[in-house]
Structure 1
Amino acid sequence: MRLPDDAEVSDEIWDEVIDGMKVRVQDKNAAIRTYAVRALSRFAVEGEDGGIVDLFLETLDNEPNAEVRKTIVFSLPPSNNTLESVVESMLDISESVRRAAYSVLATKFPLQTLSIKQRTTVLHRGLSDRSASVNNECLKMLKDEWLVKYCGGDVISLLRFLDVETYESVGESVMAVLLKDGALRVQDGHSIRQYFTANGEKAERDSNIQLMDAEVALYWKIMCKHLQAEAQVKGSEAAATTGAEAAVYASEATDKNDLLDSVLPSTITDYVDLVKAHLSAGPNYHFTSRQLLLLGEMLEFSDTMNRKIASSFLHELLVRPLEHEVDDDGNQIAIGDGVSLGGDKDWAKAVAELAKKVHSSVGEFEMVVSTVVEELARPCRERTADFMQWMHCLAVTGLLLQNTSTLRNLQATAIEPSELLHSLLLPAKQNHVDVQRAALRCLCLLGLLENRPNAELVKQLRLSFINGPDLVSAIACKALIDLVTWHGPQEIDRAIGIESPDPSYEKSQFTQVDLSDMNDDDLNIGVLDILFSGFHKDHWEFDLEGDNHDNVPTILGEGFAKILLLSGNFASIPADLHTVILAKLIKLYFSEETKELERLKQCMSVFFQHYPALSDKHKSCICNAFVPVMKAMWPGLYGNAGGSTHVISKRRKLAVQASRFMVQMVQTQLFSTESMDQASKSSESASGLADASNNFDISEEGLAIRIALEVASCPDKKTAAGKAYALALCKVVVLLRFRQSEQKAIKCMRGLVNHLAASVASDKELGKELAQMAARLRSLDACPDEELAQDDADAIFKKLGFDDGFKLDTNQAVPPTPAPRSVRPPAPARRRARQAPSSSDDSDEEAGEADVPATSASRVPATPSMTAAARSQRASKTAALSKMSAKPATASDDSELDGQSDVTSEEDASDEESL
């Protein structure tokens, strides 16, 4: 029904309607919720809507339906509170919601109302979104609203809204997408040359140069790169075609090159003067100076005079005095690493790119820069250099080593590699901590260029890691890991005289080294042993307030994760050590001590996401690491410290999380075709060799057997910690799945389920789950009445690394849950003599029935009048025998583990009363 336009509605009716719609927003039907939101959107006015906007914001966070979330986003009024929710909706899992967020932002929120952080966040998310439709919606907002409506089509004004000095990558992305869309072009009369005064004398050239803003410099850098790239594309297309089409492409390429030439400075001298003018203008123009320096890659230096001018300019840049600050104590503090102007690392990269462009001949770049290094190294070699001179020299040395491809190019230069090592890099260890860090970085770069690592270089890195201050140890650690991953640990050890071990010897553990007590480097200990010992050193220093990437735990975690991912490249590392490394990384990931190291957490998260999906060998490593991880993490067992109730509960929770996390990794599907190839091969022979499958050890079957053996062999099962440990492991076992092709593993696990049930008899729910698991295993068993030969069982245990042997128990059923005792006294009944089995068939039948869980027997119907007494007697007898055979449970004083059913004295008392 539609009301007339002039109809009057009382406020009371409006309030009732609004209240009714608020209730419908929580309706179970998504369509009703959508219409309710649309109805309320008419009254959604910030501060005057009676809580409608607050209801929308609250519902948006918890709404499961994408269509409803999209409707809410469209219904939000513009305000500071709703702006944040709209921006967060740009991360929604639904493409339609993300697209709606950009549409709302474009139509309801003016550009000026967003902060710089919000503007750059919006553009970064939208332009890098995985959905093309979201990209298009973001581009539409950027072009039609922000550029045209609020900036009048002036891209420089738009860049000023984005603070390109801080968010340079976002500014570059905006320029790139607008150029690709054709929304930008060089306007007539606009070029870099307009910043030069036409009538300026040569002596006054610098004073007659108009300084550029940061946005203008970024604009011209991106625009010139775009013109150069388009000219190259058109030139390539002209070369690939013939006839009139080639002529068209060649003409377009010529037009682009002519436009580029008209935009760039007319001469190399003008370009150099332009950069110098901005360098002289102070730190406020450092960003502009770097953008202009990068323009040099598009200039032509084939002329000898041009190269001479540019080479002289580069020499000035490399020997330019360092910028530094002086602290309250009068100490000089270098800004950046020496070459990096204003602490900007991109400056050194820009200098190197320009130098390689100017000196493009083979070996010319190395010859020119090494001459500068030799000049700067003179006071260092004479031991007269101060802190700033050391930092400057090492910064240029690092620039040289980082941008050369081979040490051959450094031969016959002003300072050769051997001289560089012995006269500059090794003596730097006696200086300031910052000088030591810069020297170690150069040592690492030099080691990466060598075909075989130098012995003195390796010794210095090892000594710095062991004995250096924590900040120095961090750089030495990073250098050693880089050299290990590049050359291999065997080559690093061989460099200092450590011979390779006997190939027949399989190392299963790292050598334990106490770094705190080592005063000198023990050359008999391998590099991996020393690095792994870094995990065990306490009190590494790192700053949690700022950038904490350069700390030893994070560097070690990232380094060993890289070694595991690239394990195929390191044949000298035994497979058993892979398990040790993985176990350590898992414990590190779930450790309370490293929870503040966000970089480490992020790295480990990415590593664990990819590691199990790359290879079956990696899954085998995870299976092997499961029990060692649980042993090391569970409090109160295997020598682990206990603690207060709160501490124990917290540590148990972490261990349980780690166990389930490892199960998820084992269940991860492979990325590669390795498992598919194996599956296709096995399926061809599955008909005759189903029982001969031999890859159970790298799958869930092997993990389940390992856990069952750990529960059965746990020495402290009677203690509270041991009982909780067994319960936690059994709760993991029931999550694992068995494949029907693994017949021997299935039979083996059937013989172990009874031991698991006996270990957790106090937990009735878990007992039921184990009974269900036994039933599943029996249904998967092709020959459920046949037992697994002990030799086959021993072979399985040996393959899983359990050499002690274990006797399976396939004849004892999973203990049923005791039945409640009848309140009526049992009627007298005659005892029936038990009949011994008369044949092997009977015994086999009983053995087969023994594995049937009690829950299946309870489903058999019985006649109430004839069998009630007998059933009561059997239930009482079963409960009594179970009580007599079971060991008395001790009261637990440690039942604080959440989610674990531990044994308590109250539970024992209630069980006794029920019997």
Structure 2
Amino acid sequence: MAKKKSTSGSVSVARCLNEAQRSISAHRKLVRTLLNRLAEEGAMCVLKELAPCLAHVLLVFSRDTHVERVVRFVVSFVTHAVGEDEGKRSEATERVLEEQESLIEALLSWLLTMTKATEKSVRYRSCQLIAGVLSHVPPHVSLPNTLLEELKRQMTCRLKDKVPQVRAQAARALARFQEGGDDGEFSEDAITSAYQQMVSGDRNKEVRKVVLASIAVSTHTLKSIFMHTRDTCDSVRRTAYLVLASKVPMSALTIKQRNDALRRGLRDRMPTVKQAAHMMLKQWFKETQEQLKTATGEAPRDCDTVIGMLDALDVEAYEAECELLIKELLENNLVNAVSLVKELDASEACTLKRNADECLSSACALTWRVACAAISSEAKEQGQAAALTSGTESAVHASQVTTKLDTLEQVLPASSETFVSLIDFHVQSEFGMRFVVKQLLLLACECVEFADATSRMLGEVVFKTLASERENENLFKSKVVDTDREEDYECGLFCQGSNGKWESALMKFGVKVFGSSQSCMHQLISLVMNRMGGSAEHGAEGVAPEDLVQGCMLLNTCFETCSTLGCVDLEIVPQLAEHVMGACVTHEAVAVRRESIKLCGMLMLHSNYSSESLYNVFITALRKDHYQVKTEAAKFFVDLAHLNGPKYPQHKFSSFKTIAGCPMEMLKQCLSSSDCDLLKEVGDGDDKKEFRKVVVEGFLKLMTNHSKYSRENAWTEGEQCDIFTKLVFLNFDKECGAYAPMQQCISVFFDVYSMLHAHTYQIVSASIVLTVKEAVRRELKPRVFGQLVRFLTYLVQRVPAQDKDEVVGIQQKVATSLICEMKMQASEETVWEEEEEQMEQIIPALLKVLLKLDVQQFNQDAVKIMQVLLSELPEGNKLFGTKEFQSASDTFSVGDAAEGEVAPDVQKQASLVYDQYLAMKSQQDQAPEEEDAPEEEEPAEEVEKENEEEAAADTKAPVEHKSPVRRRRALRSRNVVS
């Protein structure tokens, strides 16, 4: 029988693939061409041509654009939906469908054998083609169970492939093999379980992305998806948010998960992740609209949708997240601020012009505040734009300003007296209106003007009522929450465990009403002193601890919201300080002592008030009190040092004769050891960690801003190097690493410190030798010691962009000091075996740092001196026979020194440089001994002191370069028994 002649025989599969790799636009035409051949010649004939062509594609592992187009074209051809547009299928269409099913089955069977190849590119491309075909296979295609089981088994094996790209494509291929089980939760499915293990343990970001996109969404797997909204890779975080947007409804998430997702996504530093979070927010907005439409049968207004979303997020427990949601809706034009407030004003339940006895809801109050603040801010920006432009553009901006201001006038109460009455109505109303009152107070600060005497008088009455009454049954009690709630409301007063936001809003309202921070402070001081009761003589007998805490908290909040430091008259400060000291500082409650110490610190910092007795109170609190009180005392000392210089407290505390008694010296101990005197008190672990974090953060700020202090109040370079060394070791401390806030502070500091300016780079450079020797003395583990050396090399390479000449000079000094230190270490003639082991650690570490310096920018004369110093190192020492040392020698080889001939003047300069280094090290070694020497010594100690003085005198005599600066006795090893 003669073979049927093809009408399209002139177009081969190879030619179609060649054209497909050039452009995607030709794919549709080429697919129709091959489908015609498939109908005429059958699946096996097409596959005989297709398989050899694909064999070439399987050998390409790289992500080549042409190869990716070919793969995409093959998947499109094989899985093309035939006859979708036809009402009834013709015989030709039925034949194409049959041949297409046969082609898919044959192609998958052939590719399945390729997945077992030893070549990684073959496994990768075959899995990629299988994943593409299975992802787009038409619904009419039915494959044999044996083939499906073999595909499932082989792709499951490829999930453990050593090549990440193969694992990713195998995960794609298995996506449609997941089975939900009887409960539909996929909890018993083997593939889903494998996905969960991969997404939590695979180190490759592409694998995690593919698994996140492929895993079936259910209550069982939702936690695995949600955890990757905090993934270290931004592309994985983006994929997680895209999955939440497309597959997970808001109702499937808990209230905490909804708020966490919003906060993390909308505040993410990467724009791509924020964009994916916006897509999730848009989907939630549409979902809420559909729910409201189903419930009411009408299209919901924007205000109803926003309030519905806020109710779903629990607005009182998550105020910051709900405020962020409204702002994002406004910025992305999902909701218009002007239309939103008009809709709120038109609603009887939400309008501010209320005559009914009903109060505003929490969601409605927050919406009012954020929307009105947005309108006011936009009006100010457009007003500035109108002033900076001219002509038609200026007129447009002015018109928009007028529209926004008119809108605010229409929707807000007619006068400030009416607005204050609205606030007072909620204060006197039913239980639990604290959140609404706080929103109204902030709204008044933003959009209401207290210009006339009547409105100011009413506002003062409201302010004094809220500031002086704590036990108002309707407003000032915390909400009673159910025991099965995930998280309690934070709607109470600060003394009841809240976060202080209520007090902050009240202080802003007070400043608005009284006209200035100073007037508000004067009124508040009299209220608080009456509220505290008692006196400096009789203490606080009969006064509730909550009243004392709340009174100190209000004053502290007022200080924190003041724009100027001189907001308190100096005549009032001594009286207030004595009152607080008598009533609160010695109170038995920790919270009272904590807030009173904070208040006393605020008084001293804001008014420059000084009292010896008050200083003693801070010192006592720092030494012996609870860690919460210690923390506030430490904040005061650190703030005092930050304002005036780190040595300012030392000069201020003249009553302490020794340097160790200085508070900053006491706090410095917390940098080096967790066993210092200030950390020996028994207390809660979190309070102790927070105290140490405050101390560490304070020293980091002092080091960063050290250049602005006067010379008498600043640390010396040696003191800065000592603190820097302590901070380096603290960065590798296990206890520090276990507390994320402290570790984050240190990491941020080291990322920028060396690059600030030349002085900070000098501190980093001068601390290298000191840090390495201290690390050897502490006997760090080899792994940790290696990490520390790599960390130092990383820091010394981060140079400031400005002052390049000065930085190069610093690097020359560093290189010289490193070489001199290696020479000094190697010149020791007789040492303990333990000290020899230390030397074997120090020299290679210094050599690694030396190799990271940019020698090409050094002065040629300085390089010659360094080369001479390197050549004088003992050749017989095994430490100087390594490749690293040879590389250093080659790097510093310049001129005659490279050929073994050294000019006499260069040799003389090198000797002088080394002698100066020895003299400097000798002074550094002697200084601590003289400072720490006790006043009275035992006879044996006197003899030892005389020996040390003789040794110090010997070092002052002229010595040769090869003789050690610190002479030692010839000693046997401690491991040898005499």
Is the pair's TM-score, using the shorter chain for normalization, greater than 0.5? yes
- Residue range with higher mean Cα deviation, 150-159 or 422-431: 422-431
CA displacement at 1:46 relative to structure 2: 4.7
Equivalent residue for 1:174, pick from 313, 316, 325: 325
**Equivalent residue for 1:657?**
787
**Equivalent residue for 2:155?**
21
The answer (yes or no) to whether the contact 1:717–1:723 under 8 Å persists in 2 is: no
Secondary structure in 1 matching 2:897: coil
Secondary structure in 1 matching 2:151: helix
CA–CA distance in structure 1, aligned partners of residues 192 and 875 of structure 2? 55
CA displacement at 1:600 relative to structure 2: 2.3
**Equivalent residue for 2:680?**
540
What CA deviation, in whole Å up to 9, does each residue of 1:279-338 have, x standing for no partner? 45677443333222212212221121111111111011111136799xxxxxxxxx9997
The answer (yes or no) to whether the contact 1:283–1:342 under 8 Å persists in 2 is: no
- Residue range with higher mean Cα deviation, 209-218 or 27-36: 27-36
Distance 1:379 1:86, change over 3 A: same
Secondary structure in 2 matching 1:191: helix
**Equivalent residue for 2:175?**
41
CA RMSD in angstroms comes to: 4.2
**Residue 112 (structure 1) aligned with residue 251 (structure 2):** yes
The answer (yes or no) to whether the contact 1:474–1:550 under 8 Å persists in 2 is: yes
CA–CA distance in structure 2, aligned partners of residues 399 and 98 of structure 1? 38
**Equivalent residue for 2:348?**
194
CA–CA distance in structure 2, aligned partners of residues 759 and 45 of structure 1? 68
Distance 1:633 1:772, change over 3 A: closer
**Residue 622 (structure 1) aligned with residue 764 (structure 2):** yes
**Equivalent residue for 1:564?**
703
Equivalent residue for 1:348, pick from 475, 500, 503: 503
CA–CA distance in structure 2, aligned partners of residues 226 and 364 of structure 1? 29
The answer (yes or no) to whether the contact 1:580–1:625 under 8 Å persists in 2 is: yes
**Equivalent residue for 2:214?**
75
CA displacement at 1:186 relative to structure 2: 1.6
Where do residues 701-712 of structure 1 align in structure 2 (5 Å cutoff)?
Answer: 701-702=815-816, 704-705=818-819, 708-709=822-823, 711-712=825-826
What CA deviation, in whole Å up to 9, does each residue of 1:146-181 have, x standing for no partner? 444665461112122323333322211111011112
What CA deviation, in whole Å up to 9, does each residue of 1:752-801 have, x standing for no partner? 5885876656xxxx953345335534646763124452542442563697
**Equivalent residue for 1:769?**
883
**Equivalent residue for 2:278?**
139
Equivalent residue for 2:457, pick from 298, 308, 311: 308
- Residue range with higher mean Cα deviation, 778-787 or 71-80: 778-787
Secondary structure in 2 matching 1:783: helix
The answer (yes or no) to whether the contact 1:237–1:249 under 8 Å persists in 2 is: yes
The answer (yes or no) to whether the contact 1:286–1:341 under 8 Å persists in 2 is: no
The answer (yes or no) to whether the contact 2:594–2:629 under 8 Å persists in 1 is: yes
The answer (yes or no) to whether the contact 1:452–1:491 under 8 Å persists in 2 is: no
CA–CA distance in structure 1, aligned partners of residues 689 and 319 of structure 2? 22
CA displacement at 1:270 relative to structure 2: 4.7
Equivalent residue for 1:209, pick from 341, 347, 357: 357
CA–CA distance in structure 2, aligned partners of residues 11 and 196 of structure 1? 61
**Residue 125 (structure 1) aligned with residue 241 (structure 2):** no
**Residue 260 (structure 1) aligned with residue 408 (structure 2):** yes
**Residue 162 (structure 1) aligned with residue 313 (structure 2):** yes
CA–CA distance in structure 2, aligned partners of residues 476 and 115 of structure 1? 40
Secondary structure in 1 matching 2:640: helix
The answer (yes or no) to whether the contact 1:87–1:101 under 8 Å persists in 2 is: yes
CA displacement at 1:482 relative to structure 2: 0.5
What CA deviation, in whole Å up to 9, does each residue of 1:598-654 have, x standing for no partner? 4322222222222122233323323333343444444xx5xx6xxxxxxx7x65654
CA displacement at 1:139 relative to structure 2: 1.4
CA displacement at 1:76 relative to structure 2: 2.2
The answer (yes or no) to whether the contact 2:818–2:850 under 8 Å persists in 1 is: yes
**Equivalent residue for 1:103?**
242
**Residue 224 (structure 1) aligned with residue 340 (structure 2):** no
Distance 1:159 1:470, change over 3 A: closer
Equivalent residue for 1:587, pick from 726, 729, 736: 729
CA displacement at 1:118 relative to structure 2: 2.5
Distance 1:442 1:120, change over 3 A: same
**Residue 441 (structure 1) aligned with residue 583 (structure 2):** no
Query: Structure 1: which amino acid aligns with 2:367?
Result: Y
CA–CA distance in structure 2, aligned partners of residues 480 and 195 of structure 1? 52
- Residue range with higher mean Cα deviation, 150-159 or 703-712: 703-712
CA–CA distance in structure 1, aligned partners of residues 225 and 608 of structure 2? 55
Q: Which has the higher contact order (CA 8 A, sep 6+)?
A: 1
Structure showing the higher helix proportion among its residues: 2
CA–CA distance in structure 2, aligned partners of residues 406 and 439 of structure 1? 21
CA displacement at 1:568 relative to structure 2: 0.2
**Residue 365 (structure 1) aligned with residue 365 (structure 2):** no
Equivalent residue for 1:795, pick from 913, 921, 929: 913
CA–CA distance in structure 2, aligned partners of residues 65 and 394 of structure 1? 53
Query: Structure 2: which amino acid aligns with 1:531?
Result: L
Distance 1:8 1:219, change over 3 A: closer
CA displacement at 1:481 relative to structure 2: 0.9
CA displacement at 1:578 relative to structure 2: 0.3
Equivalent residue for 2:667, pick from 512, 531, 556: 531
CA–CA distance in structure 2, aligned partners of residues 340 and 116 of structure 1? 27
**Equivalent residue for 1:391?**
549
CA displacement at 1:382 relative to structure 2: 5.6
- Residue range with higher mean Cα deviation, 54-63 or 294-303: 54-63
Distance 1:306 1:198, change over 3 A: closer
CA displacement at 1:133 relative to structure 2: 3.7
Identity of aligned residues (%): 23
Where do residues 418-497 of structure 1 align in structure 2 (5 Å cutoff)?
Answer: 418-425=574-581, 428-432=584-588, 433-450=590-607, 456-497=613-654
**Equivalent residue for 2:560?**
402
Query: Structure 1: which amino acid aligns with 2:568?
Result: L
- Residue range with higher mean Cα deviation, 778-787 or 346-355: 778-787
The answer (yes or no) to whether the contact 1:444–1:483 under 8 Å persists in 2 is: no
Where do residues 511-526 of structure 1 align in structure 2 (5 Å cutoff)?
Answer: 513=660, 525-526=661-662
What CA deviation, in whole Å up to 9, does each residue of 1:25-75 have, x standing for no partner? 566777665554433223234567963334444444566766555443332
CA–CA distance in structure 1, aligned partners of residues 346 and 467 of structure 2? 25
- Residue range with higher mean Cα deviation, 709-718 or 208-217: 709-718
CA–CA distance in structure 1, aligned partners of residues 658 and 783 of structure 2? 30
The answer (yes or no) to whether the contact 2:531–2:551 under 8 Å persists in 1 is: yes
Distance 1:627 1:241, change over 3 A: closer
The answer (yes or no) to whether the contact 2:863–2:892 under 8 Å persists in 1 is: no
The answer (yes or no) to whether the contact 2:493–2:502 under 8 Å persists in 1 is: no
CA displacement at 1:23 relative to structure 2: 4.4
The answer (yes or no) to whether the contact 2:265–2:274 under 8 Å persists in 1 is: yes
CA displacement at 1:136 relative to structure 2: 2.7
Secondary structure in 2 matching 1:190: helix
CA–CA distance in structure 2, aligned partners of residues 121 and 406 of structure 1? 36
Query: Structure 2: which amino acid aligns with 1:130?
Result: R
- Residue range with higher mean Cα deviation, 116-125 or 345-354: 116-125
CA–CA distance in structure 2, aligned partners of residues 288 and 384 of structure 1? 36
CA displacement at 1:486 relative to structure 2: 0.7
Secondary structure in 2 matching 1:617: helix
**Equivalent residue for 2:813?**
697
Secondary structure in 2 matching 1:410: coil
The answer (yes or no) to whether the contact 2:311–2:363 under 8 Å persists in 1 is: yes
CA displacement at 1:666 relative to structure 2: 1.7
CA displacement at 1:232 relative to structure 2: 2.5
CA–CA distance in structure 2, aligned partners of residues 430 and 40 of structure 1? 68
CA displacement at 1:487 relative to structure 2: 2.0
The answer (yes or no) to whether the contact 1:44–1:75 under 8 Å persists in 2 is: no
- Residue range with higher mean Cα deviation, 21-30 or 369-378: 21-30
